[in-house]
Structure 1
Amino acid sequence: MLNFIKRLTRSKFARNIAIVATGTAGAQAIAMAFSPFITRIYGPEIFGAMGTFIAILEVISPLAALSYPMAMVLPKHDSDAKGLAAISLCIALVTSCLAALTLILFKTPIVNALNLHSIETFILIIPVTMFVSVLTTISSQWTIRKKLFSLKAKSAVFQALTINILKTGLGLLNPSAFILVSTTSFGYLLQAALIGIGIRAHTQERTKREKSNFAFAGLLKAYKDFAYFRTPQALLNSIGQSLPILMLANLFNPTAVGFYVLARTVLFVPSILIGTSVAEVFYPKFVEVIHQGKSGKELLLKTCLSLAIVGSIPYLVLIMFGPWLFSLIFGSDWQEAGEYSRWMSIWLFFVLITRPIISAIPALSLQGLFLAFEAVSTLVRIAAILIGYYWTNSALSAVIAFSLSNVIIYTALTILIIRKT
């Protein structure tokens, strides 16, 4: 055991995970520290409006740059990665303008069809945030490529502190859905700016400026599987994950959406803190192993098993004491969100375990397979929510059915990808 701990502390892979995890932990700690104040300022209905906004954004965001930013880690040469960044920005500008034009021309029928009345007055923030989110993704992928994990960690902490201060301060003046949504959207821009400043400083200190003679057409063709397969897959996944919010808004009310949004926010903390940190370090390491012509199966299995061991603790606590903890921390109005959290914890435990599985898919060139899998999964999720709704006509039943369907989906995905590896 002592030898294992010594090897772990000497491992660069483990140290990089620790750096990312420290930054993510700091950001999440700040968010959780402010949460008891924010939930008492805004209330479930306003949280529901914000959740609806984020759900719409998450659904259309995969179309923003056709997933080309995700390919930036793969090229051997930095010039190609910069080319992919430029392509991503061009595509994002076009898609964001198209989204804005669509909302301007068809705002009323879209709002009525999807029951988006709670965000109708500020719905045009969506295309702006859509473009800014691409800037954030590009800067984030570059830090992963160059292994600037310390920079990413510092920017995450500063961004979380700034945004939560704004949410609290502005909320005391005007506790509205607009304030909550606009500060959340500003967070994307702030994160991209912080990382961009750090990258520029690092480039000036460490490297010489180089001219990039990339061919746009060649890069578009070389990484077309991200547009053809990863984008539809990400779109379907976003639809699947946003389904509870959109369907709860239509079948029930904004308050039910608010309960779900808070529960998901809290339950995603272990996944973001541990899973994202591991995945961001795992991805370039796994790509390196594949480039060397080796099998990444052992690395994949070890990473998933480690996440299962670490992640079991926080989720077991939430399964056992969820309602009591939510009522104590966020106020008595949020006890129902604690009931949601018990069942959602089972699902999000499996999300945590499969973070390396999903990260490995591009490197294994399994985008097409993943797309087909995601299409089937989306249908399963829709069916599960409807079964839960018609079963007892309660929002909790819909959440339970959705959570259990995700357990089946992620278990099947894990078995499938490990076998392909």
Structure 2
Amino acid sequence: MRDRSLSVFPGTLRKVLAKVFGGSASNVFKGMATLALGSGIARIIGIAAIPVLTRLYGPEDFGVLAVFSALLSILAPLLTLRYVLAIPLPRHDGMAFNLLMLSAGLMLIMTLSISLLLWVFGVQLLAIFSMEELAPWWWLISLGLLASASYEMLTLWATRRRNYRVIARTSVWQSATSSIVKIGLGLLALKPAGLLIGQVVASGGGIGSLLRGFGGEFRDNWRFLRWSRMRKAAWRHRGFPYFRVPSQFLLAISSQAPLLFMAALYDANTTGQFGLALMALGLPLQLFGRTLAKAFYAEAANLGHKRPSEVRSMAHAVIKRLAFFSLLPAIVLLFFGPMLFSLAFGDEWIQAGAFASILAVYLVFQFVQTPVAHIFYIFDGQKKLLILNLQRVLLLIFCFGASYMLSLTPEATIWIYALTLSAHYLLSTVYALRFIPSS
């Protein structure tokens, strides 16, 4: 980090900040700061809208929204067969543009296919997964998928360009417009359509801004678009559809599995307490962990697979700083979780605080692992990442299976879950570092 960016701080503090944020990871943390600012403002807007929305919509409406959001989160990443994740990797913009167009073509074909299936067999297909309440809104599912996948493509192009500001701006735009749409349609008594349309806006808001921002680059690179180059790009990055698609599916399952297992093992109140604990812990991970992951991926992809020593040096710097900054909040949560939750949410949520204090054990390891997992993208390790995600699912089955067989208390179950996931994230981080070539 340059001295100019720290000149507003006193001398001693400036030296400390230069030590913490400087060196090989300085660009990563600059990018993270920009992304985190946008994400933070977006989340504040979203949180501020909740009290209004809960007075306009009923629990049943939010139930439909939860199912709708879950479906989008599972299906949308699969539309491009994950070729979209390779956009930051090519050295030449022309090849990256061919990957972008390949992803766009796959997205349109997959969305059209899903739309036809939902139009003809929507009720039957959704009923298989107990989602029949979404049948009247099948067309919104298609729009949501198209919006979400399009936004992902454009933000990954922005990541390639290391244009973090435009991503941050669109995050704020998504949250603001989504909240306005949900509130406005709620006042018109359009339920649950208002929530669903607002979620589509949240998935794709900012697409127009991204297109305007990068439209000139797309026009300049259009001359490089060739079917032969698209096939070459598809073959070069074939590991993404072969291994990243099933890996994404396993990741979606593992993210939803803990709550589903708790619902199967314990009563609704315990499940709700656990759900709030997961949501509270997920906020800092989404705000900082995932924004840092985007910044790390952009900087590491810019270095490329031909400069592994620099990628390794940057990864080590990021890991040390993440561990340092996440350790104190984890310790505070470990010892004061119930009290903090009681103050923030009310006395009825003390158990959620107790659960969160246990989950804090693996918070540091998950926080550190999130950005370095992108190392596998850079060095063609999609198969290795698939194995790690499969391992995580099997560990989850082991944790909750052991709880069922031994009739453990919720606290004991969560302790097993937290310790097992801590070991998984730690070993995954070590393995990612060892996967970087030696030269």
TM-score (norm 2): 0.81
Tell whether the 8 Å contact from 1:389 to 1:398 is kept in structure 2 after alignment: no
Q: CA deviation at 1:66?
A: 0.6
Which residue matches 1:212? 224
Aligned equivalent of 2:296, options 270, 282, 287: 282
Residues 390-412 of structure 1, C-alpha deviation per residue, up to 9 Å, x if partnerless?
Answer: 65588777666544443232122
SS of the residue 2:170 aligns to: helix
**Structure 1 residue 95 displacement after superposition:** 1.9
Answer yes or no: is 1:159 the counterpart of 2:159: no
Q: Does the 8 Å CA contact 1:274/1:307 hold for their aligned counterparts?
A: no
1:115 aligned onto 2:125: no
Instruction: Give matches, 1:131-146, under 5 Å.
Output: 131-146=146-161
Contact persistence 2:174–2:204 (CA under 8 A): no
More displaced 10-residue stretch of structure 1: 158-167 or 245-254: 245-254
Corresponding residue pairs, total? 418
Asked if 1:150 corresponds to 2:165, the answer is yes
Residues 331-355 of structure 1, C-alpha deviations (whole Å, 9 max, x = no match): 6776665455444444444322112
> Is 1:297 paired with 2:312?
yes
* 8 A Cα contact 1:73 1:145, kept in partner: yes
CA distance in 1, matches of 2:272, 2:435: 39
- 2:96 is the counterpart of 1:81: yes
Provide, for residues 158-211 of structure 1, a one-character-per-residue CA deviation record: whole Å limited to 9, x for no partner. 2222223334454566595554343122211213233223333x759xx96762
Alignment map for 1:335-414 (pairs within 5 Å): 337-389=352-404, 392=407, 402-414=417-429
The equivalent of 1:236 in structure 2 is 250
Structure 1 residues 160-309: aligned runs within 5 Å: 160-171=175-186, 174=189, 178-200=193-215, 203=217, 211-214=223-226, 215-247=229-261, 262-295=276-309, 296-309=311-324
- CA 1:35 to 1:354, structure 2 compared with 1: closer, same or farther past 3 Å? farther
One-letter amino acid matched to 1:216: M
CA–CA distance in structure 1, aligned partners of residues 220 and 235 of structure 2: 29
1:84 Cα deviation from its structure 2 partner? 0.9
Shift of 1:145: 0.7
Distance 1:79 1:22, change over 3 A: same
Q: CA deviation at 1:131?
A: 2.4
CA distance in 1, matches of 2:194, 2:341: 24
Work out the CA distance in 1 between the residues paired with 2:312 and 2:367: 18
CA RMSD across the alignment: 3.6
Cα distance in 1, alignment partners of residues 332 and 242 from structure 2: 41
Alpha-carbon contact 1:52-1:245 (below 8 Å) kept: no
Matched with 2:5 is: none
Q: Deviations over 1:97-124 (max 9, x none)?
A: 3333444555455445433356555455
CA contact (8 A) 2:341 2:353 kept: yes
**How far is the alpha carbon of 1:80 from its aligned partner?**
1.3
For structure 2, the residue ranges without an aligned partner over 5 or more in a row are: 1-11
Contact 2:57 2:186 in 1 (8 A): yes
By relative contact order (CA 8 Å, sep 6+), the higher-ranking structure is 1
5+ unaligned residues in a row in structure 1: which ranges? none
Correspondent of 1:5 among 17, 21, 29: 17
- What CA deviation, in whole Å up to 9, does each residue of 1:35-88 have, x standing for no partner? 455567657765554333333333333321110111000111111111111111
The offset of 1:380, in angstroms, is 1.9
The structure-2 alpha-carbon separation of the partners of 1:252 and 1:412, relative to structure 1 and needing over 3 Å to count, comes to same
Structure 1 213/103 Cα, relative in aligned 2: closer, same or farther at 3 Å?
Answer: closer
Corresponding residue to 2:74 among 59, 68, 76: 59
* Alpha-carbon distance in structure 2 between the residues aligned to 1:175 and 1:333: 32
Q: 1:52 touches 1:246 (CA, 8 Å); kept in 2?
A: no
Match of 1:95 in 2: 110
Secondary structure of the residue aligned to 1:160 is: helix
- Equivalent position of 1:130 in the other structure: 145
Contact 1:55 1:245 in 2 (8 A): no
Q: Deviations over 1:218-242 (max 9, x none)?
A: 1111111111112221221111112
How far apart, CA to CA, are the structure 2 residues paired with 1:5 and 1:379? 41
Q: Following TM superposition, by how much is the alpha carbon of 1:251 offset from its aligned partner in structure 2, in angstroms?
A: 6.8
Shift of 1:420: 2.1
CA distance in 2, matches of 1:253, 1:33: 30
Q: 1:332 to 1:346 in 2, by over 3 A?
A: same
Asked whether the 8 Å contact 2:289–2:367 carries over to 1, the reply is yes
Greater Cα shift, 76-85 or 50-59: 50-59
Given the alignment, which residue of 4, 21, 31 partners 2:46? 31
